[in-house]
Chain A
Amino acid sequence: MRILVVEDDSLVASGLKQGLTQAGYTVDLAGSAEEAGQCLQGENFDLAIVDIGLPKADGLSFIRGLRSRGNTLPVLVLSARGSMEDTVSGLDVGADDYLAKPFRLPELIARIRALIRRSHAVADACLRHDGLMLDTRSRTATLRGQSVELTNREWAILEILLLASPSVVSKERLAQSLAGWDKDITPNAVEVHVSRLRGKLAAGQIEIRTVRGIGYRIDAARR
């Protein structure tokens, strides 16, 4: 896996390179949007980490340029501004995730893993998470190599939760996604499907966590 880090501060950049290399990624460093543009030509990356506060052209306009050229490279934005307002504008221009400085390396690596998993799910139609694999083309699920039988509704719920992880998904949203099979499915019916799913996944490390009053979440992958 190859990651492009676009960061002008050498202390942060070198720390990132060291940390990500230790986590098993190949890391290229770029100190400006221009340099990053050159790196991207002719080279293939799995993900870019972009600092918003770059000299000259800032990170947001770099991402905007990337998306306007049709590049779908997953982008994680780093920002020193740290307010949620910037999160929104960062995600609006086409970033996939957002982390405020100062950040913890383990959290950054967990986010990178989730982003790459999501982009690969689109590319090879497979969702992987802590020993669980969903092959969306053959619609087969395996847990630690063992096949798991899932109903259509269970499959849909699991797929949404995995794609959103580690974000919380509301019962309403899950109910809406099931409306294709059941016109009048209630949030309570979602609970039934989730409890069956929990039973089927009991053998693995995957836990579907209940968030009281909202819905469910699958914790970030540990590996």
Chain B
Amino acid sequence: MKPSRFSALGLRQRLLLAILLPMTAVFAISVVFDYRLAKATADAAFDQSLADAVLDISSHIQAGSDELSLELSSEAEAMLRTDSSDKIYFAVRDGNGHLLAGDSALPFPAVRPLDQPQFHDLQFRGGWTRAAVHQVDSASGTITIAVAETLTKRNRASRRILVAMILPSLALIVATLLAVYFGVRRGLAPLDAVEREIASRSPRDLHEFDANAVSRELRPILARLNGLFGMLREASAAQQRFLADAAHQLRTPLAGLQTQLDLASAEGRFADDEDRLARIQEATDRIGHLIDQLLLYARAEPATVATQAFEPVHLDRLAENSATIFLDRALGKGIDLGYEIAPATAWGIPWMLREALANLIDNAICYTPAGGTITVRSLAKGEQARLEVEDDGPGIPLDERQRVFERFYRIPGSPGEGCGLGLSIVREIAEIHGASLEVDSPETGGLCISLCFATKAATP
């Protein structure tokens, strides 16, 4: 779909626009027509009274034998000119254009001889007037009578008509607008509810929506969404199955190899070449370690983790349990592995946090020389739950601190049998948990890596 400016608007705005625009146009057109009709009717009535005035004047014309005279008493003229709001002008002229009576300046439009008075808009004395003009034939020639009045009462009538027409229309438009606005809001409430439910989901929550609980129009969308969730769940499950199979296929022959190696060694087959045995053993260990790390890395991929649930994890217990697992390796290297454990709880996937801690301790044992000290800590500090592994080994130079978390990166010239995946796995796990990774140098030298979990934001 190509987004247009219209489609960028919300559904609510689009509905309101689609309803209100044509409705306002229809109202506007109907107001114009009604106004014109009502104004024409009012004007006709006013015109008629002008025509009456013309006829009234013509009744005062008396035709003599050879000249015309207009017998208009001052009372009659006063009557004619009297109006509550408008000024009335009139003029009577003979066939040659001589003024017989009235206002000499009143312009005379050309009129055709007709039985009925004709109406004109005339400009007179700086304003518009409406005039009725009539030609009367008499024995002594044609007489033209014109009566004009200013537009005050016509304009007042127009304004009244306009107000009377527009006010109800405006009220109707506002009422419709409100009705449509609240109607659309109510109508779209289910959409809002679905939106809120989607927004409140965690990224790992792939369970289906109840498509029957929403209105009919939303069902196809939710059905498609559910289909997508299903595909994601299947992909995640397939990925986990593949990893379990791969782990089995890779580790079982390696276990066979290791057993045969131990047997050969126990039988004294390498008695005259202990060095060769040590090299084969080292290679076997490295393959085993690499398989572990690769599988763990793949298991920690967001797509694989997608279906796993978060739960409260006691970091203190996690730390305590790691003692049994790593004590022998530390003792074997002459390292003092110790603990400082305080209660701390993080929100996460238990096996991942165990593996993250295991990788940190493993890394420390790997790079701390014999006679060194490693301390594992769990603590709650402010709104943070922390897991820390501190050693007094060579540490990490400042400019390498970001790179050590990259996949397969090893500090050039570093000893040991690391494969360069351990810390990148820790970083991956930290990201999944929204935890931050801090790398520090303790005052005593060495390295301290901390996993910091936000305890407030972590609770759902």
Query: Is the A/B pair a real complex?
Result: yes
Give residues in A with beta carbon < 8 Å to B.
9, 11-12, 15-16, 18-19, 22, 53, 78, 80-85, 88, 100-106, 166-168, 170, 209, 211-214, 217
Interface presence of B94 (CB below 8 A): no
List 10 tightest A-B contacts by C-beta distance, closest first: A212-B338, A15-B259, A213-B339, A11-B256, A105-B262, A101-B255, A85-B351, A80-B251, A102-B255, A102-B258
21 A-B pairs (CB sep. < 8 Å): A9-B252, A11-B252, A11-B256, A15-B259, A15-B260, A15-B263, A22-B266, A80-B251, A81-B244, A82-B251, A83-B295, A83-B351, A85-B351, A102-B284, A103-B258, A168-B320, A170-B320, A209-B327, A212-B337, A212-B375, A214-B323
B253 at the interface (CB under 8 A from A): yes
Say yes or no for B328: interface residue by CB 8 A criterion.
yes
Instruction: State how many angstroms separate the Cβ of A14 from the closest Cβ of chain B.
Output: 8
Q: Mark B208-249, 1 if CB is under 8 A from A, else 0.
A: 000000000000000000000000000000000000100110
CA A209 to CA B338, docked complex, whole Å: 12
Task: Chain A residues near B296: list those with CB within 8 A.
Answer: 83
Q: Which residues of B contact A209 (CB under 8 A)?
A: 327, 331
Residues of B363-378 at the interface with A, using a CB-CB cut-off of 8 Å, are: 375-376
Report which of B251, B355, B375 forms a contact with A84, defined as CB distance below 8 A. Answer: B355
Distance in angstroms between the alpha carbons of A214 and B258 in the assembled complex: 33
Q: A81-B248, A102-B284, A105-B262 are in contact. Are A214 and B256 (CB under 8 A)?
A: no
Q: Which of A100, A101, A105 has the most CB of B within 10 A?
A: A101
Prevailing SS type, chain B contact patch:
helix
Q: Which residue of A lies closest to B292 (CB)?
A: A82
Contacts of A168 in B (CB 8 A): 320, 323-324, 327
Asked whether, in the complex, the Cβ of B327 is within 8 Å of the Cβ of A217, the reply is: yes
Other-chain residue from A80, A82, A83, A102 in contact with B257 (beta carbon distance below 8 A): A102
Bound-state CA distance A100–B327 (Å) is: 17
B354 near A105 with CB under 8 A, answer: no
Count B-side interface residues using an 8 Å CB cutoff.
42
Contact, CB under 8 Å: B339 / A11: no
Partner of B251, one of A19, A101, A104, A214: A101
Inter-chain contacts of A166 with B (CB < 8 A): 324, 328
| Most chain B beta carbons < 10 A, residue from A80, A82, A85, A168 | A80
B418 within 8 A of A: no
> Would you call B244 and A22 a contact (CB within 8 A)?
no
- Interface: B34 (CB within 8 A): no
Whether B252 contacts A101 by the Cβ 8 Å rule is yes
User: Contact: A80 with B252, CB < 8 Å?
Assistant: yes
B102 at the interface (CB under 8 A from A): no
Determine the chain A residues whose CB is within 8 A of the CB of B259 once the complex forms. 11-12, 15-16, 18-19, 102, 105
- Asked whether B320 lies within 8 Å of A102 as measured between CB atoms, the reply is no
Closest to B296 in A: A83
Max chain A CB contacts within 10 Å: which of B255, B350, B355?
B255
- Decide if B254 is an interface residue (CB 8 Å cutoff): yes
Residue B406 CB within 8 A of the other chain = no
Partner of A104, one of B247, B258, B351, B355: B258
Q: Which residues of chain B are near A213, meaning CB under 8 Å?
A: 338-341, 375-376
Distance in angstroms between the alpha carbons of A16 and B258 in the assembled complex: 11
Per-residue CB contact flags for chain B residues 64-89 toward chain A (1 = under 8 Å, else 0) read 00000000000000000000000000
CB nearest neighbor in B for A11: B256
| Residue in A closest to B317 when the chains form the complex, CB atoms | A170
Complex Cα distance, B265 from A19, in Å, reads 11
Bound CA span A53–B256, Å: 15
Judging by beta carbons under 8 Å apart, are A83 and B258 in contact?
A: no
Besides the known contacts A19-B266, A105-B259, 5 further A-B residue pairs in the complex with CB atoms under 8 A apart: A82-B295, A101-B255, A105-B262, A212-B375, A213-B338
